[in-house]
Amino acid sequence: MKPEILVASPMPAPTMRSLDENFILHKLYEAADQAAFLAGIKDRVRAIATSGGRGASAALMDAVPKTEIIANFGVGYDAVDVPAAKARNIPVTNTPDVLTDDVADLALTLLLDAARMVSRADRFVRAGHWLKGNHPLGQAVAGKKLGIVGLGRIGAAIATRAEAFKLQVSWHGPRPKPDAKWPHVPDLVALARDVDFLCVICPLTPQTFHLISREVIEALGPEGTLINVARGPVVDEAALVDALKSGKLGHAALDVFEDEPKVPEELFSMENTVLLPHQGSATLETRTAMGQLVVDNLVAHFAGKPLLTRVA
């Protein structure tokens, strides 16, 4: 018999096909009464496949107490209650590396969009405003300074791409990295004050919640641009909205928000924002590769082999 697993959230079609080939699937996201659904399968489910947005709470683990592994679709696993998983001896996996290039590409896309006003200019043309006059000037990118908050795999990939655009790169993190080629700035406010663009790509943890505070945002200043391709709660969103409204921050290019998919409506009418619906890894190739890592981790577990990308 195939192992039975709980699929907590929908995944790309190739992933679902591969899961179906290897396991008996119980799709929690399709259940009208999820509590009753879980009660009916509680002693049969041996794994949870979930997404970075849905995660897995302690209550969900308790609802399917035979769970042996949680496979997370996404590099970020902050929605998984890792302490609860550890307390129950449940390993957790994620999907790193395969999305590095796409997220880094999108970060540079957001930077360029904000600087050269690409989305804004597109709206300008579509609205027929070009017939009445020219579009405002944007900012040059070459020679400007980029600060990166978090120099993991993706942060380093962003830095490498930024150099190709002749940006001067520095970064902030909790500790220096001896092998990093870019200067480390231990004071985040000082970094924000010194750069033209600040790109956030650190994980969401209790320590990084609202790390991009009002002080950091205002240090970036009226000519600065904040780019967030990490997690929404890393940025104090209320402070960000206030700074954009008051002119204390120049621009924001955001792929993530504090209460997704809800976005502060005040941002909708602001021409100094670029807003995306969490598209960092959203390519067919990358989402397929992420899904395959979910499957491969589950298959490895049930075959008694080492997990490919265990994080807890």
Give CA–CA dist 183/181, Å, rounded.
Answer: 7
Is-catalytic flag, 26?
no
Take residue 144 and report the two structure tokens written for it. 């400007």
| CB-neighbour burial class of residue 229 (10 A; exposed 0-12, middle 13-18, buried 19+) | buried
Residue pair 271/57 in contact (Cβ under 8 Å)? The answer is no
Take residue 277 and report the two structure tokens written for it. 């619906």
Catalytic entry in 260, 266, 271, 285: 260
Is-catalytic flag, 251?
no
Write the CA distances from 284 to 11, 14, 15, 95, integer angstroms: 12, 10, 11, 15
Is-catalytic flag, 218?
no
Catalytic entry in 231, 251, 287, 301: 231
Residue pair 311/92 in contact (Cβ under 8 Å)? The answer is yes
**Looking at the annotation, which residues are catalytic?**
231, 260, 278
